[in-house]
Structure 1
Amino acid sequence: MQCAVIGGTGLIGSRVVDDLNAAGHRATPHSLSTGVDILTGKGLDQAVDGAEVVVNLTNSPTFDDASAGFFRTSMDNLLAASGKAGVRHFVVLSIVGVDQAQDLDYYRAKVLQEDILKAGPIPYSIVRATQFMEFVQEVLSWTSDDHTVRLPSTPIQPIAAADVAAAVSEVAAGAPLNGTVDVAGPDVYPLDELGRITLAAKGDGRGVVTDGAAGMFAAVRGDVLTNRGARLAPTHYEDWLARA
């Protein structure tokens, strides 16, 4: 099976390409660095030519209200090119609980991306994932100073990027779901406790202050999976952290 992986040189995309190729498929990475621009359409027709599956792993460069324009333009361009190429399956990576935090510009933009895909002519699958383990340190940096990290107690179920990629690859290689599947790590942590675990593992002596108004996750109910049919990945955060 021939797969065009848009955003295929990034954290998740590069792993998806490797996973699909290891499984015997023909996956090709595409991104700005390979000459494909999903906003102008440059190189898109060539990127999806001959592809049976398109996997879209691109992301908005900002989290503000401009993100809606990014997802609208990129999805319109990608679906148009994919339709002309006869693509039979279009896969998008999204966020668990994204439709439950509509106070956030970025979350509204991701829902828009999903809605554009659902309304389009190509059979599709949406993989929603929880917070990546690789981004926990960045989350801590949003509300930190030299002495303190302020975090809400929002429940988080972090997942390793490798496990996200494995789930996306499995879905891409299968029949279109014409629906959504959720994936998450195996363990749930309050975000403030996750911060304490992370800082301790890194020998960072700063303290964590529980603050219900701190950072983006103050506006999010959490990304904990409670729906039936959700998939739990095998990697535990503390094991991942020890290796990292």
Structure 2
Amino acid sequence: MRNKKAKLPGTTIIRACVVVFGIFLLLMGLRYMMTDMDDLIQNRRTQAEPSLMLRLPVERVFMDTEENAQSSLDSGQEAEGGEDAEDETLSETSSPSEQLPDKALSDEELFKEESPDQEPSDEVISDVQGDASPAEMPHPVPDETVENGGIDAAEHHYFVQVGSYHVRRNAENSASRLKEHSYPAEIRMIVRNGQTWHVVFAHGFAHEREAHEWAAHFREKEQREALVVQLSPSGYRLLRFMGN
């Protein structure tokens, strides 16, 4: 009995050590478990983040695609608008009645100079004073372009001028409208300062006074300007009515 009692303190110490060691192992196990759980959570986060990163570019590409599609649509609409504008411009340009209204001549401006860098326009030319030089003398329209019912230049030297154009088609349109109103209109081509003009005459006369009287009647009836000019072998001259 004494031996058993003597062994009790040692046994108690051993048991205490075992308990402490067991607690230590338990704590270490819990620590490892917590570490593993943290690693697992971290791995899951790491795996989840790339998927988000992968989705973002896809969404961005989709947005870019929509933007590009919208830009293409806008560009297409602008291009169609430009084509429509060009079509409208062409239609306006190709319409003789809208493009070239009849332009009357003033007493002071029969011909008008244009700067070299500008396109010829249907403006009247200016500064014709006295006879034209031989290089600027009016040239008759070729026979094949003179319509029936024109003025006989061999019998008439005084003409009532109602318009002048750079583009012959515009002069022809003006002459056609005059003929529709029973005027014996005619077109003559005049070269001045290197520019060609197509001049529209509404009527021709053998005497200057008759031409002035008819021009006055034409201005009153048609409400547009009309000038009397003389065409002769010596040149092209603007005539002013001096009265009696």
TM-score by length of 1: 0.20
Q: Which has the larger radius of gyration?
A: 2
Higher helix share: 2
TM-score by length of 2: 0.20
